[in-house]
C-alpha cells in the first residue's frame, strides 16, 4: 500500500518536474528540445497521466509551436498531437484545434500538410478544413505523397463534382503511376456517384481511361479497366438509341482486349467488367467463344468515340482464354461473367454450355462449382439445352468426389427436360451410379429421381416396365427390398402418376405398395414435397386401384401446379438460388410454413395438406423476384424497353398460374402487384433518370404515371397482410424511391405532400427497424442520413431536387424474397339483379338506397372500410362500413365474410335515370390527405379493394 502511494507520489513529482522545466524554457523563449518532446510523449501515452497535466502539455505545445518553425520540430509536435488525440478522445478537440492552427496545417512544407491531413483523416474529423482552392493547390504541389493522399481521400472532403473531375482527369497524366492509379480510382467513384450528362466529359474520361489500358504498370492498368467499364457504361447510356448497341459492343470489345494481359489482377478485373456490360450483340458474344475470327465479324469495326476505332476481332476467344487461365480466380471470374451474359442470347448460351461442360473437368473444385452454378443459372433462365454430347461429361459430375459438386449437379438435373429416352436413361443410370458410390447422398438422389420422373412421365413408365422384374419379390416370396437400387426405382415409379404429362397411369398398383415398405427413407428424400403421412395416403390411394383416376385425388391436384402443356414448369422444380445444401433449405422452410398455418387458426391437417404446394409456389415466385432484380439492372442501364418486355413476360407467367387452393392466391396476387409496381417504377425511372432521352412525355403524362405508381404502391403496402417485417421494409424501399423520384422533378413535385410522405415512411422504416432488428438497405441508410443532414443544416430547404437525384443513385433494387404466405385483401361488390334493363328505383332529391352484396376476403375487423359512391367527379360520397356492426353467420372464420349492406345515396339528381359507380376502399393510415373531404369522408387515402361497379338507377314510377 505504502509502495503504491510512494510510486504515485514519485510519478506526479516527475510530471511536475517535466512540466516545470518545459514552462521554464518556454518562458525564456527557448524552443523545446527533442528530449523535452520525448518526455512529453511519455506523459501522453501513459494512461495514468491525469488530464490536468495533459492540458498543460497541450498548452506548452501550443506555445512552443508559436516559437519554433523548424520543420523537424513541427513534425514531432504533429506526432505528439495525433497521439494525444487518439489516446484521449475527450481532449482531441483541443488537439485538433491546435492541429488546424496556422503552424501545422497551413505550413509551407507540403510534407507537414500531408501529415496533418492524414492525421485529421485518420481521426475522421476533416470537416471544412480544406476548401476546393486549397485542395487543388496542394494537389498541384510538388509532394507526390500528399498528392496521392489527397486524391485517395478526395471524396471524403466533399467538393463539387466539377472540381473533382478536373483534378482526377488531370492527374491521370501524372508521371507517378500511383498517382495515376488514384486518379483513375477517383474517376470510377465519381462516375458511380455522379450525375454526368455532358457527352464531351464522358467521352474525355472514357478515352483517357482507354489510353491508360496500355500503361506500363499493372495496377494502373487494372484501375483503368475499372474506369473503362464504368465510364463506358455511362457512354452507352448517353448514346442515342440508335447507337446504343454499337457503343455497348465497343466498350465490351475494349474490355475484351485486356483478357490477355500478363497480370492476373488485370485479367480478373477484365472479366469482372465484361460481365457488367449488359447489352452485347450476339455476334460479339459468339466471337468471345472462338479464337478464330468469325466471318461475320471479319471487317466489323466500332467507333464509339472519335479516334477510338476498335475491331471486333480483338475480342476473339476472350472466354476461351479466360476459362483456361492458369489462375483459378480468373477461371472462376470468367465462369461468373459468362453467367450474366447467357441471359441475352440462346445461341451464346448453347455455345457457352459446351465450355461449361469442359470446365467440369477442371482441377479446382471451386471452378467446377462455379461452372455448375452457371449451368444452373442457364437452366433457370430457360437457356439450357442439354445435348447428347454433353450428357456424359455432365453426368460424370455425379460421381465427383466432392459432395457439393454432386448436389449441385442433381439440382440441375431436377430442372432438366430431356428430349430423348436414351438421355433419360443415361441420367437415371448416372443417379443410380451416384447412389451406389456415395450412399450418403440417398435422400437427395431420391428427390432428384422423383423430380426427374415427374418431368418425364412416359419415359418413367417405360423404364419401370423394363426393370419391373428386378423390383418383384424373389421367387421364395421373400422381398429383396434391401437393395437401394430397387428403392430408387420405386421412387421413380411413384412419381409417374404425378407427371405433368397426360395418360401415364401404367404403373402397376402393387409397385406403390412395395414403396410403402420404404416409406421412411423415401419420405425423408421427398421431404421438400410432402411429409410422411401425406406420402402414405398417396401411396395407399395409388395402390388400391389399378385404374387410378388421379384427377380427383387431392395430392395430385396440390402437386400439379401447372397445366400439363405448360413449357418447362419451372415452378415445381426450382428451389432457392442460394447454393446451400438442398435438404436444409427445404426442410427449414416447410417447418416455418407449418407454424404459420397453425397460427392462422386452421386445422393442422389442413396445413399439412397445403404444405407441399406452398413451398413450391414460394420457390416459384421467388424465382420471379430474382428475374425482376435482373430486369431492374437493365432499367438502370437505360434499357427500359427491354426490361419492360421482361416484366411483361413475367406478368403473363404469373397470371397463367392458376391459384385454385385458398392459400396460394395471396402469393400470386402479391407477385402480380409487385410486378406492376416495378413496371410503373421502371416507366417513371426511365423518364426521370439521366438516360439522355428526350422525354417523350410531357409533365402531364408524367403526373399521370406518378398517380398510377402511387396507387399501385398504396395497394401493395395496404392490401396484403401477413407480410414479415423484412418484406414490409422492402416495399417501403420502393415507396421511398417513388417519393424521391417525385421530389427530384421540380415541375411535378408538390413538395410538401411528397416530403411528408417521405418523412412518415422513413419514420415507419425506423420503427420496423427497431422492432425487427432487420438490416436496413444501404439506400435507406443513405436517405435517412441525408434527411438528417438536411434537417440539421437548414430547416427551410425542403425542395432540393439535386440532393434527391443523388440519393436515387444509391438505390439498387434488392431481390425480394417471399418467406411467408401473404394474404390478399380483396372484396367483391355486387348489386343483385341490377343492370341497365333492371335499374333500381329512386325519387329525385330523396336519398336512394342501394343494396350491396359484399364479400370481404381477409379483411381484419379493425380496418376502416368505406363505400365510395360517385356519380361524377364532383359528387362523390363516402359511406362508412362498420364491420363490428355487421352480423355474420360465419363469424368464426376471419377470412371470408359475406353480407349485404344497404348504402344510401344522398344526392340523387333531377333526372329520369342515372348511373353511379360504387367501390369499396380501405383507409390507409399512413397517408393523410391534405384535401378537406366533403361529407366527412375518410381522413386518409383509400386503397380500393375491388373494381368499380356500375349501378343503374331510374326514376321510380310508383310514386
Partner 1 sequence: MAIDCLVLGAGQEVGKSCMVVSINGKRIMFDCGMHMGYTDSRRYPDFSLISKTGDFDNALTCVIVTHFHLDHIGALPYFTEVCGYKGPIYMTYPTKALAPLMLEDYRKNMDRRGEDEQFTSDHIAECMKKVIPVNLKQTVQVDKDLQIRAYYAGHVIGAAMFYAKVGDAAMVYTGDYNMTPDRHLGAAQIDRLQLDLLITESTYATTIRDSRYGREREFLKAVHNCVAAGGKVLIPTFALGRAQELCILLEDYWERMNLKVPIYFSAGLTIQANMYYKMLINWTSQKIKETYATHNAFDFKNVRNFDRSLINAPGPCVLFATPGMIVGGFSLEVFMQWAPSENNLVTLPGYCVAGTIGHKLMSGKPTKIDLDKDTQINVRCQIHQLSFSPHTDAKGIMDLVKFLSPKHAILVHGEKPKMATLKERIQSELGIQCYCPANNETVTIPSTHYVKADASGTFIRSCLNPNFKFSTCSSTDKSYLDSNKSKAVSRLSVSDDRATEGILVVEKGKKAKVIHQDEFLHMLGEKKHEIQFAYCFPMHMARTEDLSSTSHMLCSFDKCTLISRLSMILSDELSEGNILDLGEELQVESFRVSVCSSDNCPHRLSSSLQNGSESVFFCCHWSVADEKLAWKIISIMKNSTL
Which of 351/715 has CB closer to partner 1?
Answer: 351
Which of 177/722 has CB closer to partner 1?
Answer: 177
- Establish if 140 lies at the interface with partner 1 (CB under 8 A): yes
- Establish if 325 lies at the interface with partner 1 (CB under 8 A): yes
- Answer for the pair 829, 854: CB distance below 8 angstroms, yes or no: yes
- Establish if 21 lies at the interface with partner 1 (CB under 8 A): no
Cell numbers 495496377 correspond to 219
In this structure, the number of other CB atoms found within 10 A of the CB of residue 93 comes to: 11
In degrees, rounded to 5, the angle at the alpha carbon of residue 271 between the alpha carbons of residues 267 and 274 is 135
Which of 404/748 has CB closer to partner 1?
Answer: 404
- Least distance CB 864 / partner 1 (angstroms): 59
Which of 346/399 has CB closer to partner 1?
Answer: 399
Return the residue of 80, 113, 334, 359 that touches partner 1, per CB under 8 A.
359
CA distance to 40, 61, 107, 112, per residue, from 57 (Å): 7, 6, 22, 21
Q: How many residues bind partner 1 (CB under 8 A)?
A: 53
Return the axis-axis angle of helices 177-193 and 144-152, rounded to nearest 10°. 20
- Establish if 945 lies at the interface with partner 1 (CB under 8 A): no
- Least distance CB 378 / partner 1 (angstroms): 18
Grid cell for residue 559: 402437386
- Establish if 348 lies at the interface with partner 1 (CB under 8 A): no
- Answer for the pair 844, 908: CB distance below 8 angstroms, yes or no: yes
Q: What is the DSSP string of 860-925?
A: -TTS-EEEEEESSSS-EEEEEE-GGG---TTTT-SSEEEEEEEEEE----SSSEEEEEEEEEEEEE
Return the residue of 327, 421, 697, 925 that touches partner 1, per CB under 8 A.
327
Return the residue of 40, 85, 316, 375 that touches partner 1, per CB under 8 A.
316
Residues 252-291 that bind partner 1 (CB under 8 A): 260-262, 291
Which alpha helices (H) appear in 68-108, and where do they start and end? 71-87, 92-100, 102-105
- Establish if 396 lies at the interface with partner 1 (CB under 8 A): yes
Which of 437/883 has CB closer to partner 1?
Answer: 437
CB within 8 Å of 957: residues ≥ 6 apart = 841
Q: What is the DSSP string of 435-495?
A: HHH-GGGHHHHHHHHHHHHHHTHHHHHHHHHHHHHHHSPPTTS---TT-HHHHHHHHHHHH
In degrees, rounded to 5, the angle at the alpha carbon of residue 235 between the alpha carbons of residues 230 and 238 is 130
- Least distance CB 351 / partner 1 (angstroms): 12
Binding segment toward partner 1, per CB under 8 A, in 29-37, 197-205, 565-573, 727-735: 197-205
Residues 160-179 that bind partner 1 (CB under 8 A): 166, 169-175
Q: What is the DSSP string of 631-646?
A: HHHHHHHT-HHHHHHH
- Least distance CB 922 / partner 1 (angstroms): 55
Adjacency order of strands within the sheet including 826-830: 826-830, 848-857, 896-905
CA distance to 75, 627, 669, 682, per residue, from 815 (Å): 52, 9, 18, 15
- Least distance CB 229 / partner 1 (angstroms): 19
CA distance to 180, 886, 922, per residue, from 855 (Å): 69, 12, 14
Return the residue of 400, 616, 636, 727 that touches partner 1, per CB under 8 A.
400
- Establish if 321 lies at the interface with partner 1 (CB under 8 A): yes
- Answer for the pair 512, 543: CB distance below 8 angstroms, yes or no: yes
- Establish if 15 lies at the interface with partner 1 (CB under 8 A): no
- Answer for the pair 868, 918: CB distance below 8 angstroms, yes or no: yes
Residues 363-392 that bind partner 1 (CB under 8 A): 363-364, 392
User: 669 by DSSP, 3-state: which?
Assistant: helix
- Establish if 401 lies at the interface with partner 1 (CB under 8 A): yes
- Establish if 306 lies at the interface with partner 1 (CB under 8 A): yes
- Least distance CB 315 / partner 1 (angstroms): 12
State how far the Cα of 355 lies from the Cα of 286, in Å rounded to an integer: 12
Cell numbers 502539455 correspond to 57
Would you give the binding string for partner 1 spanning residues 843-872, x where CB under 8 A is met? ------------------------------
- Establish if 437 lies at the interface with partner 1 (CB under 8 A): yes
Which of 216/802 has CB closer to partner 1?
Answer: 216
- Least distance CB 118 / partner 1 (angstroms): 20
User: 928 by DSSP, 3-state: which?
Assistant: strand
- Least distance CB 132 / partner 1 (angstroms): 16
- Least distance CB 579 / partner 1 (angstroms): 19
Return the residue of 11, 41, 106, 141 that touches partner 1, per CB under 8 A.
141
Which of 147/451 has CB closer to partner 1?
Answer: 147
Grid cell for residue 815: 431481390
Residues 43-82 that bind partner 1 (CB under 8 A): none
Which of 365/870 has CB closer to partner 1?
Answer: 365
Grid cell for residue 118: 492524414
State how far the Cα of 261 lies from the Cα of 54, in Å rounded to an integer: 56
- Check residue 842 and report its DSSP letter: E
Return the residue of 112, 187, 270, 305 that touches partner 1, per CB under 8 A.
305
Binding segment toward partner 1, per CB under 8 A, in 301-309, 476-484, 566-574, 641-649: 301-309
- Establish if 399 lies at the interface with partner 1 (CB under 8 A): yes
Binding segment toward partner 1, per CB under 8 A, in 324-332, 602-610, 864-872, 935-943: 324-332
- Establish if 315 lies at the interface with partner 1 (CB under 8 A): no
Binding segment toward partner 1, per CB under 8 A, in 320-328, 460-468, 701-709, 742-750: 320-328
State how far the Cα of 146 lies from the Cα of 154, in Å rounded to an integer: 12
Binding segment toward partner 1, per CB under 8 A, in 358-366, 522-530, 649-657, 858-866: 358-366
- Least distance CB 350 / partner 1 (angstroms): 16
| Nearest Cα residue to 284 out of 314, 324, 239, 241 | 314
Which of 123/350 has CB closer to partner 1?
Answer: 350
Which of 85/201 has CB closer to partner 1?
Answer: 201
CA distance to 214, 215, 618, 727, 750, per residue, from 222 (Å): 10, 10, 42, 39, 46
Q: What is the DSSP string of 509-567?
A: HHHHHHHHTTHHHHHHHTTTT--HHHHHHHHHHHHH-SS--GGG-HHHHHH--S-TTSS
- Establish if 324 lies at the interface with partner 1 (CB under 8 A): yes
Would you give the binding string for partner 1 spanning residues 203-242, x where CB under 8 A is met? xxx-xx-------x--------------------------
- Establish if 733 lies at the interface with partner 1 (CB under 8 A): no
- Least distance CB 201 / partner 1 (angstroms): 6
State how far the Cα of 261 lies from the Cα of 218, in Å rounded to an integer: 9
Which of 317/938 has CB closer to partner 1?
Answer: 317
Which of 437/929 has CB closer to partner 1?
Answer: 437
Which of 83/358 has CB closer to partner 1?
Answer: 358
- Establish if 27 lies at the interface with partner 1 (CB under 8 A): no
- Least distance CB 263 / partner 1 (angstroms): 9
State how far the Cα of 644 lies from the Cα of 958, in Å rounded to an integer: 56
Residues at the contact surface with partner 1, assessed by CB under 8 A: 139-142, 147, 166, 169-175, 200-201, 203-205, 207-208, 216, 260-262, 291-292, 305-307, 316-317, 320-321, 323-328, 355, 358-359, 361, 363-364, 392-393, 396, 399-402, 437
Amino acid at each position: 500500500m505504502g509502495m503504491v502511494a510512494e510510486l504515485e507520489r514519485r510519478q506526479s513529482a516527475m510530471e511536475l518536474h517535466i512540466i516545470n522545466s518545459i514552462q521554464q524554457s518556454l518562458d525564456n523563449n527557448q524552443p523545446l528540445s527533442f528530449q523535452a518532446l520525448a518526455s512529453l510523449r511519455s506523459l501522453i501515452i501513459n494512461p495514468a497521466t491525469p488530464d490536468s497535466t495533459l492540458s498543460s502539455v497541450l498548452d506548452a505545445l501550443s506555445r512552443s509551436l508559436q516559437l519554433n518553425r523548424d520543420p523537424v520540430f513541427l513534425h514531432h509536435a504533429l506526432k505528439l498531437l495525433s497521439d494525444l488525440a487518439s489516446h484521449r478522445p475527450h481532449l482531441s478537440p483541443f488537439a485538433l484545434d491546435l492541429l488546424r492552427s496556422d503552424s501545422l496545417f497551413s505550413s509551407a512544407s507540403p510534407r507537414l500538410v500531408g501529415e496533418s491531413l492524414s492525421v485529421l483523416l485518420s481521426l475522421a474529423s476533416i470537416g471544412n478544413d480544406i476548401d476546393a482552392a486549397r485542395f487543388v493547390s496542394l494537389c498541384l504541389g510538388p509532394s507526390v505523397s500528399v498528392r496521392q493522399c489527397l486524391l485517395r481521400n478526395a471524396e471524403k472532403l466533399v467538393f463539387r463534382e466539377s472540381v473533382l473531375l478536373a483534378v482526377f482527369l488531370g492527374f491521370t497524366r501524372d508521371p507517378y503511376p500511383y498517382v495515376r492509379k488514384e486518379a483513375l480510382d477517383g474517376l470510377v467513384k465519381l462516375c458511380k456517384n455522379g450525375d454526368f450528362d455532358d457527352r464531351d466529359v464522358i467521352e474525355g474520361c472514357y478515352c483517357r481511361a482507354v489510353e491508360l489500358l496500355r500503361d506500363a504498370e499493372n495496377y494502373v492498368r487494372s484501375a483503368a479497366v475499372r474506369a473503362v467499364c464504368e465510364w463506358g457504361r455511362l457512354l452507352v447510356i448517353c448514346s442515342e438509341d440508335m447507337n446504343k448497341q454499337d457503343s455497348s459492343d465497343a466498350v465490351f470489345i475494349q474490355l475484351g482486349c485486356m483478357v490477355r494481359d500478363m497480370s492476373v489482377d488485370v485479367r480478373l478485373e477484365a472479366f469482372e467488367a465484361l460481365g457488367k456490360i449488359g447489352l452485347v450483340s450476339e455476334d460479339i458474344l459468339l466471337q468471345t467463344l472462338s479464337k478464330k475470327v468469325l466471318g461475320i465479324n471479319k471487317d466489323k469495326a466500332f467507333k464509339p468515340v472519335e479516334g477510338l476505332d476498335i475491331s471486333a476481332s480483338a475480342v476473339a476467344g476472350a472466354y476461351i482464354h479466360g476459362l483456361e487461365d492458369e489462375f483459378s480466380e480468373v477461371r472462376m471470374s470468367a465462369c461468373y461473367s459468362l453467367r450474366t451474359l447467357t441471359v441475352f442470347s440462346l445461341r451464346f448460351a448453347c455455345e457457352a454450355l459446351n465450355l461449361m461442360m469442359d470446365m467440369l473437368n477442371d482441377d479446382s473444385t471451386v471452378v467446377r462449382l462455379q461452372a455448375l452454378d452457371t449451368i444452373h443459372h442457364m437452366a433457370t433462365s430457360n437457356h439450357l439445352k442439354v445435348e447428347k454430347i454433353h450428357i456424359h461429361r455432365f453426368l460424370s459430375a455425379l460421381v465427383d468426389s466432392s459432395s457439393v459438386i454432386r448436389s449441385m449437379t442433381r439440382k440441375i438435373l431436377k430442372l432438366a427436360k430431356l428430349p430423348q429416352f436414351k438421355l433419360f436413361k443415361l441420367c437415371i443410370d448416372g443417379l443410380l451410379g451416384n447412389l451406389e458410390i456415395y450412399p450418403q447422398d440417398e435422400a437427395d438422389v431420391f428427390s432428384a429421381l422423383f423430380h426427374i420422373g415427374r418431368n418425364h412421365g412416359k419415359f418413367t413408365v417405360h423404364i419401370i416396365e423394363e426393370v419391373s422384374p428386378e423390383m418383384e419379390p424373389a421367387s421364395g416370396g421373400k422381398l429383396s427390398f434391401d437393395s437401394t437400387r430397387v428403392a430408387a426405382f420405386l421412387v421413380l415409379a411413384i412419381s409417374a402418376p404425378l407427371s405433368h404429362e397426360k395418360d401415364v397411369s401404367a404403373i402397376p398398383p402393387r409397385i406403390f405398395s412395395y414403396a410403402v415398405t420404404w416409406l421412411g427413407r423415401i419420405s425423408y428424400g421427398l421431404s421438400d414435397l410432402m411429409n410422411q403421412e401425406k406420402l402414405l395416403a398417396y401411396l395407399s390411394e395409388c395402390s388400391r386401384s389399378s385404374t387410378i383416376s388421379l384427377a380427383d385425388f387431392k395430392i395430385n391436384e396440390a402437386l400439379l401446379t401447372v397445366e400439363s402443356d405448360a413449357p418447362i414448369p419451372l415452378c415445381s422444380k426450382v428451389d432457392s438460388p442460394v447454393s446451400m445444401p438442398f435438404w436444409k433449405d427445404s426442410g427449414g422452410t416447410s417447418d416455418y410454413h407449418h407454424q404459420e398455418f397453425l397460427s392462422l387458426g386452421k386445422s393442422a391437417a389442413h396445413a399439412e395438406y397445403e404444405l407441399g404446394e406452398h413451398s413450391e409456389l414460394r420457390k416459384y415466385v421467388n424465382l420471379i423476384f430474382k428475374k425482376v432484380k435482373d430486369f431492374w439492372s437493365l432499367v438502370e442501364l437505360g434499357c427500359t424497353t427491354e426490361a419492360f418486355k421482361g416484366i411483361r413476360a413475367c406478368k403473363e407467367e404469373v397470371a397463367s398460374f392458376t391459384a385454385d387452393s385458398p392459400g396460394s392466391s395471396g402469393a400470386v396476387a402479391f407477385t402480380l402487384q409487385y410486378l406492376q409496381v416495378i413496371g410503373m417504377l421502371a416507366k417513371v425511372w426511365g423518364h426521370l433518370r439521366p438516360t439522355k432521352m428526350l422525354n417523350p412525355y410531357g409533365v402531364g403524362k408524367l403526373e399521370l404515371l406518378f398517380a398510377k405508381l402511387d396507387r399501385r404502391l398504396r395497394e401493395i403496402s395496404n392490401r396484403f397482410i401477413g407480410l414479415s417485417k423484412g418484406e414490409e421494409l422492402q416495399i417501403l424501399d420502393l415507396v421511398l424511391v417513388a417519393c424521391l423520384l417525385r421530389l427530384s422533378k421540380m415541375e411535378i413535385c408538390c413538395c410538401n405532400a411528397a416530403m411528408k410522405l417521405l418523412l412518415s415512411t422513413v419514420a415507419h422504416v425506423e420503427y420496423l427497424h427497431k422492432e425487427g432488428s432487420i438490416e436496413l438497405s444501404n439506400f435507406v441508410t443513405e436517405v435517412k442520413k441525408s434527411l438528417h443532414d438536411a434537417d440539421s443544416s437548414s430547416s427551410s430547404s425542403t425542395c432540393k431536387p439535386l440532393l434527391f437525384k443523388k440519393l436515387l443513385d444509391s438505390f439498387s433494387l434488392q431481390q425480394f424474397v417471399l418467406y411467408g404466405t401473404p394474404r390478399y385483401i380483396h372484396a367483391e361488390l355486387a348489386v343483385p339483379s341490377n343492370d341497365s334493363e333492371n335499374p333500381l328505383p329512386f325519387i329525385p332529391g330523396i336519398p336512394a338506397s342501394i343494396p350491396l352484396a359484399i364479400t370481404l376476403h381477409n379483411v381484419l375487423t379493425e380496418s376502416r372500410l368505406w363505400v365510395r359512391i360517385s356519380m361524377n367527379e364532383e359528387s362523390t360520397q363516402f359511406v362508412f362500413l362498420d364491420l363490428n356492426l355487421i352480423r355474420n353467420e360465419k363469424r368464426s372464420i376471419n377470412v371470408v365474410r359475406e353480407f349485404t349492406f344497404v348504402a344510401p345515396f344522398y344526392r340523387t339528381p333531377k333526372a329520369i335515370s342515372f348511373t353511379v359507380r360504387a367501390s369499396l376502399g380501405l383507409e390507409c393510415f399512413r397517408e393523410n390527405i391534405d384535401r378537406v373531404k366533403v361529407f366527412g369522408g375518410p381522413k386518409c387515402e383509400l386503397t380500393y379493394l375491388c373494381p368499380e361497379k356500375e349501378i343503374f338507377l331510374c326514376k321510380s314510377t310508383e310514386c
